[in-house]
A and B are shown apart, each in its own frame.
Chain A
Amino acid sequence: MKNVSATVGLILNEPLLWEKGQKGRRGMDVPAADVPPAGIDAGLIGEGPDFPDLSEVDVIRHYTRLSQWNFGVDTGMYPLGSCTMKYNPKINDTVAATPEIAASHPMLPDALCQGTLKIMYELQDYLAAVTGLDAVSLQPAAGAHGELTGMLIFAAYHKSRGFRRTKILIPDTAHGTNPASAALCGLQPVPVPSGPDGMLDPEAVARLMDEQTAGIMVTNPNTLGLFEENIIRIAGIVHDAGGLVYGDGANMNAVMGVADLKRCGVDIVHLNLHKTFSTPHGGGGPGAGPVCVVEALRKFLPVPRVVRDKRGYRLDGNCPDSVGRIHAFHGNFGILVRAYSYIRCMGAENLHRASQLAVLNANYIKEKLKGELHLPYDRPCMHECVFSDLWQHAYKVSTLDMAKRLMDFGYHPPTIYFPLVVGGAIMIEPTETESKADIDRFIEAFCEIVREAKEEPEILHGAPHLCKVKRLDETAAARHPCLTGC
């Protein structure tokens, strides 16, 4: 192995929480009682949970060791396709921790929390400016939650016009959650196959679009990393049949300052603030999935939304056509603050620049690796490119083997086996925050793995070799689920 940044370090084992500790230890102060003990009906009292008692040092060492078994964007390149694992600026966390913001209660009267309302009001405006749409709800807590909100708006829109439409078109290059989000709103997904060039074919959409179909959910750029070149015609077909166009904005990082989604014909789009707007992914969340709509759909947005009048900012819940509330309070506010901070640091010019460089990085990887790996759709890509393991089949090496081997070289693997339209897909999204030198090293590592696949495939079959654990038995985990420790 040459050019390897990964090495063997001192990684310490650590038992489960309840395998350590000693009754009577404590890791956190409880204040002394300054009120008399009160009586309580014995029938209400339980035994209290069976938690281990740990000291503060026990807790700190436990979680510090756990953290060392993890890999994050701050550790190294994380080219997970469609997840936009860009650098998460630290100032955003500092801003979100501002005491007035972090300690604000969500049910205060508007007059007492003008600062947090102003952040929301301005962020609504910024996201409208980025997408080109007119109105925004910040409530959805994640991308899939935004999709659900969009589908609720679809349902409310058609109901307001006296129709109940029961189907929705979903291309085979859309995100995996789209069908489930539509199904929650009583819409039966109708798959639309993409054409041989990886694009949606307007004729295919025209054949499927009818009066029972609520509209279409389009991920653009799609999950092959390609911009849907016929989006305007497709939107026209859907609109002519009375439908709406939902844009899955998960891949917005490709087209900031370039595409105007309203001109593309999109009526609703959700944005993933944890992707395009740099908020940390937190090991799976929390994210945020605000929804932007065209003017005609404003009245259906979730309530309350922040509005501004003579007296300042206030929450407006008076909107009889609204789909209702989608979050207990105002969405994942701490994430909204981070995205706000990011946009204020970047401005329009740098956001545009970020998209340019994200697309440059992806195309550069595509060109450099297409001699090594099979590239099923050889066209200019946007923010990500998708290869397959077709050429490695001869050596009995799979995408999974190559992905696991990348770990030994110090990289998080790309997204694998997605999108489904490419067998053995390897979906690489470098993002704009990786430098040319880092990308060159990644390419070199991948080339080395391709060579190993040919000459020493057994190395790949046993990979990873340098992680805390070897390959894990996921089949056994599902067959005999152990979901709770004892």
Chain B
Amino acid sequence: MRYLPHTDDEIQAMLQVVGVEGLEDLFAPVPGGCRRKEAMDLPAPMTEWELKDHVRGLAAMMKVKPDFKVLIGAGSYDHHIPAIIPALTSRSEFLTSYTPYQPEMAQGTLQGIFEYQTLTARLLGMDVANASIYDGASALAEALLMGIRISKKKKKVAISSAVHPHYRQVARTYFRPTDFELVELPVTADGRTDLAALEGLEDLAAVAVQSPNFFGIIEDLGAAAAAAHQREAIFITCFTEPLAYGLLKNPGSCGADIVCGEGQSFGIPRCFGGPGLGMFACRQQYVRSMPGRLVGQTTDLDGRRGYVLTLSTREQHIRREKATSNICSNQGLCAMTAGIYMAALGGTGLRELARLNYDKAEYFKAELVRAGAGICFAGPTFNEFVVEFDRSFRPVARRLLRKKVVAGLELGGHYPRLKDKYLFCVTETVSREIIDTVIEEVRR
């Protein structure tokens, strides 16, 4: 096996040093009762070329080919990934290193993550961002728990029902074994969170909304922040599409205390939903309650600038069960990817790209309305929106699939009252021609 370098002679020589006869004798400490009775039931090993053939077969089972256009976002977006990203992230010094416990040998990772933290904080209008956590959903769950930690005695949080359904499910999973309570806020006719529903909710530790929300609607973050703060609750803003903040007011300027969400849009392939990037930022005053790794700037013995993991007294290997979280890693390479993407796009590029996404969606919405479809929510949107049709959309979707277009996500499974309504997404990767093809089929 090409990954196993030992020759038989070397094995013999080493066994002699260890003082045992054969390789299996190394396992003498494993009691007989713990031993396997049979070998592991696994397929026979493959050579590299056999594996490639096998994977081609798996790829062929995918009905959606790489040249298809998938007009679904819902937390996983098709944005162009420039060639520099795989070129840089496949550098094995980044790829095959571990958590930078030994900073003198990991300044590349550390400076890269410090830059990621800084660009993320600037994007979201916050003071501090951490080195990332698993994904948008766990970021939100951790943010809610952080809100409870900050508010000390309060045990209830409110979360908008326009937050991604999977994110709400994950939050419920994290809350299930605790005595904390999670209440959901309904949505108004314009697709925004109904802040009036906060009336009568006492003792709220935190209020969380998503913007743009699951329906693509841009929430009134200023109003939501005011409503949360009026109740002395921490205001959490979550997102699935960070690109929106190239164009929109950032959550920090609207009064958010914690901002978290999914950063997959920034140069990370959709890859069936993972790995993604849990982006997480907060105001300076809450930094010691924040979960996750943090990189900080310092100096070496000669006074030169350098970077280290820091504030580890919040973390589990020191604080054990009193830690701010059990998270002991980050999505390192994905954070590095997002940093490279933000650096390559720059402030000017990010604005242009965000604007283009907005314009495409507006064009798509207007054409759909002209074709007789209805836009379900009146609120402003970014690059996703919910549509209803005057007759069944299924035959249209089938025809579009033959034209290599996967059109929209049916919402009935997530929101029973939105049955037969579709969530559509367009990004810069969808040309006007594709949009016009969809419109043509809708009209037929």
Q: Is A74 an interface residue (CB 8 A)?
A: yes
| List of B residues within 8 angstroms of A258 by Cβ | 27, 30, 35-36
Q: Is B75 an interface residue (CB 8 A)?
A: yes
Q: Is A132 an interface residue (CB 8 A)?
A: yes
Nearest chain B CB to A401's CB is how many angstroms away?
A: 13
> Contacts A36-B359, A334-B271, A469-B104 given: A59-B122 contact, CB under 8 Å?
no
**Contact status B432-A34, CB under 8 Å:** yes
**Contact status B31-A229, CB under 8 Å:** yes
Partner of A107, one of B74, B90, B339: B74
**Contact status A472-B298, CB under 8 Å:** yes
**Contact status A141-B275, CB under 8 Å:** yes
Q: Is B51 an interface residue (CB 8 A)?
A: yes
A-B contact pairs, 15 of them (CB 8 A): A51-B350, A59-B343, A64-B88, A66-B107, A67-B93, A74-B95, A100-B60, A113-B272, A229-B29, A284-B330, A323-B173, A332-B274, A334-B275, A364-B18, A472-B299
Q: Is A160 an interface residue (CB 8 A)?
A: no
Q: Is A85 an interface residue (CB 8 A)?
A: yes
* Centre residue among A46, A54, A143 by max chain B CB count within 10 A: A46
**Contact status A142-B5, CB under 8 Å:** no
**Contact status B271-A46, CB under 8 Å:** no
**Contact status A485-B61, CB under 8 Å:** no
Q: Is A350 an interface residue (CB 8 A)?
A: yes
Q: Is A308 an interface residue (CB 8 A)?
A: no
Q: Is A391 an interface residue (CB 8 A)?
A: no
Q: Is B14 an interface residue (CB 8 A)?
A: yes
**Contact status B118-A351, CB under 8 Å:** no
**Contact status B311-A478, CB under 8 Å:** yes
Q: Is B349 an interface residue (CB 8 A)?
A: yes
Q: Is B55 an interface residue (CB 8 A)?
A: yes
> Contacts A284-B329, A477-B298 given: A324-B64 contact, CB under 8 Å?
no
**Contact status A112-B317, CB under 8 Å:** no
- Kindly specify which of A202-210, A237-245, A433-441 makes contact with the partner chain: A433-441
> Contacts A26-B349, A180-B320 given: A89-B3 contact, CB under 8 Å?
yes
**Contact status B359-A116, CB under 8 Å:** no
Q: Is B255 an interface residue (CB 8 A)?
A: no
> Contacts A180-B326, A484-B129 given: A54-B10 contact, CB under 8 Å?
no
Q: Is A10 an interface residue (CB 8 A)?
A: no
Q: Is A1 an interface residue (CB 8 A)?
A: no
* Those of A113-157 within 8 Å (CB) of chain B: 113-116, 118-119, 126, 129-130, 132, 141-145, 147-148, 151-152, 155-156
Q: Is B216 an interface residue (CB 8 A)?
A: no
Q: Is A390 an interface residue (CB 8 A)?
A: no
Partner of B123, one of A49, A73, A280, A433: A49
> Contacts A476-B298, A484-B121 given: A379-B29 contact, CB under 8 Å?
yes
Q: Is B91 an interface residue (CB 8 A)?
A: yes
Q: What mask results when residues 403 to 443 of chain A are scored 1 for a CB within 8 Å of chain B, else 0? A: 11001000011010010000000000000111110000000
**Contact status A69-B346, CB under 8 Å:** no
> Contacts A49-B350, A471-B300, A484-B121 given: A59-B344 contact, CB under 8 Å?
yes
Q: Is A60 an interface residue (CB 8 A)?
A: yes
Q: Please report the C-alpha to C-alpha distance between residue A471 and residue B103 in the assembled complex, in whole angstroms.
A: 8
**A interface secondary structure, majority:** loop
**Contact status A49-B299, CB under 8 Å:** no
Q: Is A271 an interface residue (CB 8 A)?
A: no
Nearest chain B CB to A475's CB is how many angstroms away?
A: 9
Nearest chain A CB to B12's CB is how many angstroms away?
A: 10
Q: Which residue of chain A has its CB nearest to the CB of B221?
A: A44
Nearest chain B CB to A249's CB is how many angstroms away?
A: 14
**Contact status B62-A104, CB under 8 Å:** yes
**Contact status B96-A280, CB under 8 Å:** yes
Q: Is A341 an interface residue (CB 8 A)?
A: yes
Nearest chain A CB to B353's CB is how many angstroms away?
A: 5
Q: Which residue of chain B has its CB nearest to the CB of A148?
A: B326
Count of A-B residue pairs with CB < 8 Å: 691
Q: What mask results when residues 6 to 20 of chain B are scored 1 for a CB within 8 Å of chain A, else 0? A: 100011011101110
Q: Which residue of chain A has its CB nearest to the CB of B145?
A: A184
Nearest chain A CB to B294's CB is how many angstroms away?
A: 6
| List of B residues within 8 angstroms of A287 by Cβ | 329
Nearest chain A CB to B38's CB is how many angstroms away?
A: 9
Q: Please report the C-alpha to C-alpha distance between residue A17 and residue B341 in the assembled complex, in whole angstroms.
A: 12
**Contact status A469-B128, CB under 8 Å:** no
**Contact status A23-B348, CB under 8 Å:** yes
* Those of A53-77 within 8 Å (CB) of chain B: 53-54, 56, 59-60, 62-64, 66-75
Q: Is B119 an interface residue (CB 8 A)?
A: yes
Q: Is B231 an interface residue (CB 8 A)?
A: no
* Centre residue among B117, B332, B346, B432 by max chain A CB count within 10 A: B346
**Contact status B42-A129, CB under 8 Å:** yes
Q: Please report the C-alpha to C-alpha distance between residue A467 and residue B159 in the assembled complex, in whole angstroms.
A: 48
**Contact status B82-A29, CB under 8 Å:** yes
> Contacts A70-B107, A285-B334, A328-B164 given: A113-B98 contact, CB under 8 Å?
no
- Kindly specify which of A291-299, A353-361, A449-457 makes contact with the partner chain: A353-361
> Contacts A18-B118, A364-B14 given: A49-B250 contact, CB under 8 Å?
yes
> Contacts A476-B298, A478-B311 given: A108-B27 contact, CB under 8 Å?
no
**Contact status A45-B88, CB under 8 Å:** no
* Those of B327-344 within 8 Å (CB) of chain A: 327-334, 336, 339-344
Given contacts A326-B173, A483-B287, 20 further A-B contacts (CB under 8 A): A48-B347, A56-B84, A64-B91, A70-B107, A78-B98, A152-B176, A184-B325, A229-B31, A231-B31, A282-B94, A327-B134, A327-B135, A345-B47, A353-B1, A364-B18, A472-B306, A473-B301, A474-B308, A482-B296, A482-B297
Nearest chain B CB to A20's CB is how many angstroms away?
A: 10
| List of B residues within 8 angstroms of A40 by Cβ | 247, 358, 380
Q: Is A307 an interface residue (CB 8 A)?
A: no
Nearest chain A CB to B102's CB is how many angstroms away?
A: 6
Q: Please report the C-alpha to C-alpha distance between residue A67 and residue B84 in the assembled complex, in whole angstroms.
A: 14
> Contacts A227-B29, A347-B42, A433-B3 given: A111-B63 contact, CB under 8 Å?
yes
Q: Is B289 an interface residue (CB 8 A)?
A: no
* Centre residue among A78, A113, A142, A229 by max chain B CB count within 10 A: A142
Q: Please report the C-alpha to C-alpha distance between residue A10 and residue B353 in the assembled complex, in whole angstroms.
A: 38
Q: Please report the C-alpha to C-alpha distance between residue A320 and residue B129 in the assembled complex, in whole angstroms.
A: 37
Q: Is B356 an interface residue (CB 8 A)?
A: yes
Q: Is A193 an interface residue (CB 8 A)?
A: no
**Contact status A189-B137, CB under 8 Å:** no
* Those of A247-264 within 8 Å (CB) of chain B: 255-260, 263-264
**Contact status B170-A328, CB under 8 Å:** yes
Q: Please report the C-alpha to C-alpha distance between residue A324 and residue B58 in the assembled complex, in whole angstroms.
A: 29
| List of B residues within 8 angstroms of A364 by Cβ | 14, 17-18
> Contacts A328-B273, A354-B4, A476-B299 given: A177-B353 contact, CB under 8 Å?
no
**Contact status B93-A75, CB under 8 Å:** yes
**Contact status B344-A28, CB under 8 Å:** yes
Q: Please report the C-alpha to C-alpha distance between residue A184 and residue B19 in the assembled complex, in whole angstroms.
A: 45
| List of B residues within 8 angstroms of A184 by Cβ | 145, 174, 177-178, 325-326
Q: What mask results when residues 80 to 118 of chain A are scored 1 for a CB within 8 Å of chain B, else 0? A: 100101111101011111111111111110011111101
Q: Please report the C-alpha to C-alpha distance between residue A257 and residue B328 in the assembled complex, in whole angstroms.
A: 29
**Contact status B94-A67, CB under 8 Å:** yes
**Contact status B313-A478, CB under 8 Å:** yes
* Centre residue among A18, A111, A144, A285 by max chain B CB count within 10 A: A285
**Contact status B321-A188, CB under 8 Å:** yes
